Amino acid sequence: MNNKLLEDIFKAYYDARQNKRSKKSSLEFEIDYEKKLFELYEDIKKRKYEPQKSIAFIVNKPVKREIFAADFRDRVVHHLIFNYINSVFEKHFIKDSYSCRVGKGTSYGIRRADKFIRSCSENYSKDCWILKLDIQGYFMSIDKNILYEKIEVRLRKIKYLEFDINLILYFIRKTIFHNSTKNCIVKGKKKTGSDYQCLKVYFFRKKIVDFQLVI
């Protein structure tokens, strides 16, 4: 038995459930969680791991958009990947990239924005402008082959890694190339026409309509 890998899987589980223990998916997984983690370990060891169905739902803030949430078991794997490769990629991120980075939360972003505004406006003595924009469907439209290639090239440049690179690349391939919209489960309250339109935009664009509707 690879005790290090098993230990890493348990750590990833505790990370995944942090601040999420009241969530339905976390509570369901917590029942016999040790058995489920050992099963996950066996799937990983035998290279039989496959991502589960995603949960699709609509959020309205800050704008109406569709969310495809990974199954909790898959989130454990996501944290496992993060714990292995974060130290490799963290040093390459620009200072003003804030998402999912330690010490780079909302408060830090606000302080940085205030610093830039003060500098641009010469301490509020002149007008300055802020450009607010978003790239529509950015994550859905990423070329996954290019993304995977960039990750693999970066990892293989490191001479000494504290993990099995082939195992991690296996995880990353499974995660990146998993189609979260395929056979996903749509949940939530009874939806309006605009909600359905929001969910269906991506499905129809990719000609994927075989999802289960749960009201």
Q: Give the residue carrying structure tokens 């339905």.
A: 24
Partners of 67 in the β-ladder:
57
pLDDT at res. 214: 37
pLDDT at res. 188: 64
Q: In what order do the strands lie in the sheet with 212-213?
A: 65-69, 55-59, 185-186, 212-213
Q: Which residues of the chain have pLDDT under 50?
A: 190, 193-198, 200-215
pLDDT at res. 209: 37
Strand 55-59 with 65-69, pairing: antiparallel
